[in-house]
Amino acid sequence: MIGRLVHLAAALLFAAVFAMPAAVALAEDSSQPDAYTPVEEFSKQLDAFKKSIPELNKKIEDSAASVDRWTDVNKARKEIEELRSIVGAALGAVSDNGPVSTLGTQALNHARGKLRALEQDTRFRTEEKEFLLEQWRKLREETERATEELGAARREFAELLRTLQSNEDFIDELMQVRQAQKALEVIQRLTKDIRDASDQLKKLIGAIKPPGV
Amino acid sequence: MRSLAAAGVALALAGCQPSTDVGYVEIKTVPVTTNVSQPTIYLDTIKVEPIRKGSAVLTQRVGTTKLATDGAGGQLTLCEIVVKKNRITTVTVTVLERPPRCQCRNTASGSRTCVS
């Protein structure tokens, strides 16, 4: 079960790490003032997010390994809580109202707006205009691809979080079973004690003989 | 300009580690709709951006939140969603019905409340 988590995490990290650089590179190559806009901010955010991924991956692997080792449900639950916190933070970054996704939407809107504006622009010669349009089309496509990949990462993180919380719920149920077993043991011990006391009492009563019998 | 953007990036990254307790709400729409046919959805009075490809995951403060849509006399509550720290609560909205209807992945017993 935990192995599956790690596999899932690795898959999404792979997607997150290798899908982003294209948009980042495009934005970094551009030296025009107009490029320094939501598009560049988005690429910076993606870059920062991408850099945080190896650390996240290591934390997930370490925690998953320790969960595998432990049979103590309390420790396992604590580890899963910590994993949920890590995955939750990552999901927060790429959630639809999170910082990276919001910038992605802004960047995409900006690129689309620039394309529309350039198509109407009469300041440039045809070849210049075509060159600029081509650059913005590339940028728009790369940004679209990056936001698509963010969407995939979002789905993976959400699924990972769901798996973790169902595992935690399962552990909670196990703990309840264990507690119920302990309660049952107490009741059984109490019943036995009462039976023993009753036997003792019966013996005592049996031993009492009225005078003269 | 660049320092301003860098500050923006730093602020946004700080946002990656939420200071208040947050959880996540996953809203799925069935059937998967286009922007045109999608009803307006509100999460605690905040309008949710049109849901693309039938699914959105939103960061939300811990607590009980209302999922609503536009009704005749204002916002119409569809269901309530319990958000827990670092947990995801999933709700599916059937948008073909009028008003749209919530289907909880996990429901609190005997109520229109979705839990994680």
Which residue of chain B has the CA closest to A44?
B9
**pLDDT, tens digit, 9 for 90 and up, residues A103-153:** 888 999 999 999 999 999 999 999 999 999 999 999 999 999 998 888 888
Q: What is the pLDDT confidence band of residue A66, given thresholds at 50, 70 and 90?
A: low
Share of chain A above pLDDT 70, in %: 78
Non-local (6+) Cβ contacts of A179 within 8 A are: none
**pLDDT, tens digit, 9 for 90 and up, residues A158-177:** 998 998 888 888 877 877 88
Q: Evaluate whether B24 touches A91 at the Cβ level (below 8 Å).
A: yes
Give, in order, the Cα–Cα distances in Å from B81 to each of A94, A199, B25.
21, 58, 8
Residue A198 lies in a domain: no
Q: What per-residue confidence (pLDDT) applies to A17?
A: 40
Contact with chain A for residue B47, Cβ under 8 A: no
Residue A153 lies in a domain: yes
Looking at per-residue confidence, does B114 or A10 come out higher? Answer: B114
Residue A205 lies in a domain: no
Q: What per-residue confidence (pLDDT) applies to A21?
A: 43
Q: What is the ipTM of this complex?
A: 0.73
DSSP state of B19: S
Q: What per-residue confidence (pLDDT) applies to A24?
A: 41
Which residue of chain A has the CA closest to B84?
A165
Indicate the number of domains in chain A.
Answer: 1
- Predicted confidence (pLDDT) at residue A7 exceeds the cutoff of 60: no
Among residues B115, B62, B65, the alpha carbon closest in space to that of B91 is found at B115
Q: Evaluate whether B12 touches A99 at the Cβ level (below 8 Å).
A: yes
Q: What per-residue confidence (pLDDT) applies to B77?
A: 92
**Mean pLDDT on A206-212:** 77
Give, in order, the Cα–Cα distances in Å from A173 to each of A72, A167, A180.
14, 10, 10
- How many whole angstroms separate alpha carbon A77 and alpha carbon A164? 10
Chain B residues close to A85, C-beta within 8 Å: 86
Is B58 within 8 Å of A84 when comparing Cβ atoms? no
Residue A213 lies in a domain: no
pTM above 0.90, yes or no: no
pLDDT under 50: residue ranges of chain B = 1-15
Q: For chain B, where are the alpha helices, taking DSSP H only?
A: 2-14
Q: What per-residue confidence (pLDDT) applies to A11?
A: 47
DSSP state of B110: T
Q: What per-residue confidence (pLDDT) applies to A65?
A: 67
Tokens 């839990």 appear where? B115
| B46-47, strands of its sheet edge to edge | B46-47, B41-43, B63-71, B74-83, B113-114
Q: What per-residue confidence (pLDDT) applies to B69?
A: 92
Of the residues A42, A162, A170, the best mutation for testing chain B's interface (the one with the most B CB atoms within 10 Å of its CB) is: A162
Q: B20-114 adopts what CATH topology?
A: Immunoglobulin-like (2.60.40)
Of the residues A39, A49, A86, A95, the best mutation for testing chain B's interface (the one with the most B CB atoms within 10 Å of its CB) is: A95
- How many whole angstroms separate alpha carbon B24 and alpha carbon A36? 32
Q: What per-residue confidence (pLDDT) applies to B110?
A: 63
Is A151 within 8 Å of B15 when comparing Cβ atoms? no
Asked if the peptide bond before residue B31 counts as cis, ω within 30 degrees of 0, the response is yes
- Predicted confidence (pLDDT) at residue A19 exceeds the cutoff of 70: no
Share of chain A above pLDDT 90, in %: 19
Q: What per-residue confidence (pLDDT) applies to A27?
A: 40
Q: What per-residue confidence (pLDDT) applies to A29?
A: 44
Is B13 within 8 Å of A99 when comparing Cβ atoms? yes
Of the residues B88, B91, B92, B115, the best mutation for testing chain A's interface (the one with the most A CB atoms within 10 Å of its CB) is: B88
Of B1, B88, B116, the CB nearest to A36: B1
Of B6, B12, B24, the CB nearest to A161: B24
